[in-house]
Structure 1
């Protein structure tokens, strides 16, 4: 599989909660938690504000597709939010200088904190793919979950979603291993 790999959801989530405890890595840890639980592209994720994440659900217009999407804020995100003051305002994911994370900075931090994890390159897309793999695994790797994910990811077909998640490559690899 070319491109970025997915991260193991539980490993990444546990690591992110540890990062949340350190003042220097707190914002990045929160970004990883939200990335894993919302499945957004990094450009949409980095635009989120604390006020958005304190709601039961949030509505965004995706940058790449210009499509409106409503997402639920789950208990994991709410628990992570407790690491920040109740009156925290503005962008939720900022550098120590107070500026919103850029995609390049997120990629650098992911490579730094998740180096050697997974089978390929770790990038900002790895969080979105980990979200997709978690949904797929939680629904017993069903075709139904691929249909839902293709809608969430705005893919035109489930075949594209299958390739995106690395499922097709794993299935092709198993052909050789089962001879």
Structure 2
């Protein structure tokens, strides 16, 4: 599996959303935008049920770690969630598979990780940036770190237990750390 990156430029974040809508579907763009705002692993993001959403909070148990996540939903995430619920009131999953013929005759299921990975991969090729299902989570972590410089806060949001893992995960390079030391004079 190829290493994917955080999207570091705000214009590129918006471009990815636009291209997903244009080349794939609004649902793929919604996954991107919700994924950026929740910083969940793709397995947890795709498994969100409307019943996991309590007013303005998402409450779930992470599949990989078993840790409890209680996430405050920001206005952008809430707006997208409400629109999806309004468009698909009978859906159980936030990102429910409903387009292919097989989905009609089976019990409801979320979109697959593979479908999302494929969509992000094609957009990544187009914009010459390695994108994948972890890009949303990495992007959120990177931008939180850049705005706060608080690695402990990023670790808590990503529910990591090591600073080194978090720094590597968000793609913070030695050049960026050096720049921070150089620019901040006390």
CA shift at 1:103, angstroms? 1.4
CA shift at 1:62, angstroms? 0.6
Pick the aligned partner of 2:124 from 114, 137, 141. 114
Cα root mean square deviation, aligned = 2.8
CA shift at 1:152, angstroms? 2.4
Question: What is the 5 A alignment of 1:31-42?
Answer: 31-42=31-42
- 1:57 matched to which residue of 2? 57
Structure 2's unaligned 5+ residue stretches are 104-108, 180-186
Contact 1:6 1:130 in 2 (8 A): yes
TM-score by length of 2: 0.75
- 1:104 matched to which residue of 2? 114
Contact 1:6 1:118 in 2 (8 A): no
* 2: CA distance, partners of 1:50 / 1:18: 26
Structure 1's unaligned 5+ residue stretches are 175-179
SS at structure 1 position matched to 2:5: coil
1:48 correspondence with 2:57? no
1:70 correspondence with 2:94? no
1:164 correspondence with 2:169? yes
TM-score by length of 1: 0.78
Residues matched between the structures, number: 167
Relative distance call for 1:70 and 1:157 in structure 2 (3 A) is same
* 2: CA distance, partners of 1:82 / 1:65: 28
Contact 2:20 2:123 in 1 (8 A): no
Per-residue CA shift, 1:41-99, capped at 9, x if unaligned?
Answer: 00000001234457300111111110001001111112223543523531111342254
* 2: CA distance, partners of 1:149 / 1:172: 16
* 1: CA distance, partners of 2:154 / 2:128: 21
- 1:131 matched to which residue of 2? 140
- 2:91 matched to which residue of 1? 89
CA shift at 1:28, angstroms? 1.0
Larger helix fraction of residues = 2
